[in-house]
Amino acid sequence: MKITIIGRQMNVYEEMKLLIEKKLAKFEKFFPGEGDANVTLSCKHNQKFIEITISAAGTLFRSEVGADSFRDALDDAATNIERQIRKNKTKLAKRLRENVFVPYPEESYDDTVVEEEEIIRTKTFPIKPMSPEEAILQMNLLGHQFFVFIDDQSGATCVVYKRHDGGYGLLIPEQE
């Protein structure tokens, strides 16, 4: 697994890099020979934050945790990702066997602030055909409230979202 470690407005010491690599090595058993991990460390309001994003077989696993120390945050984030993998183990195993997904390329971010403060952040991402069930799984793995995808049956760009009552919604555009 390829691991990229980034420090936001800080230096990441070699000892911490080795600890992160050791902690993430256990995910190698889930994704042998493939997988990319991006780890971002930052300090905000006297708290240490670690964001881990693992991309393997077209599926993203993400956890962002804040704690008093980077070690505690790393432990919690690794535990969260392992929980996500185990929770969705059978669905993921089916996908990995069928090679349904093509790996995502790196997402690109533009964190520049616009003068009018209308758009704070722009994010681009690849969009690919999948079923609504797969989109819900991907949304849950990312920890997002919604997910945009192309419906593999109709070819329409759709959105699945998490409802306040705990269920899920699907937005389908009208065809004229």
Q: Each residue of 79-116: pLDDT tens digit?
A: 998 888 887 776 666 655 554 444 444 444 454 444 45
pTM for this model (two decimals): 0.57
Residue 125 included in any domain: yes
- Between 13-17, 98-102, 166-170, the lowest mean confidence (pLDDT) is in 98-102
**Residue 121 in tokens:** 């952040």
Q: How confident is the model at residue 55, as a pLDDT?
A: 83
Same domain, 121 and 86: no
CATH number at residue 121: 3.30.505.50
Which residue range(s) make up the domain with 18? Answer: 2-98
What is the reported pLDDT for 116?
Answer: 52
Top pLDDT among 19 and 55 is at: 19
Q: What is the pLDDT of residue 144?
A: 86
Answer whether residue 89 is part of any domain.
yes
Q: Are residues 93 and 118 in the same domain?
A: no
Residue 81 and residue 120 in one domain: no
Is position 176 within any domain? no
* The residue to which tokens 């994704």 are assigned: 31
The answer to whether position 161 is within a domain reads: yes
Report which of residues 16 and 35 the model is more confident about.
Answer: 16
Instruction: Give the rounded percent of residues in the chain with a pLDDT score beyond 70.
Output: 82
Give the domain-ending residue among 98, 120, 147.
98
Mean pLDDT of 146-164: 90
131-149 pLDDT, tens digit per residue, is 999 899 888 888 889 999 9
Within this chain, do residues 86 and 119 fall inside the same structural domain, yes or no? no
Residues 147, 127 share a domain: yes
Domain assignment present for residue 126? The answer is: yes
Q: Given 47, 74, 98, which residue is the final one in a domain?
A: 98
Q: Is residue 103 part of a domain?
A: no
Residue 159 has pLDDT above 90, yes or no: yes
Asked if residue 45 and residue 88 are part of one domain, the reply reads yes
Residue holding tokens 């819900």?
136
The domain total for the chain is: 2
pLDDT of residue 100: 43
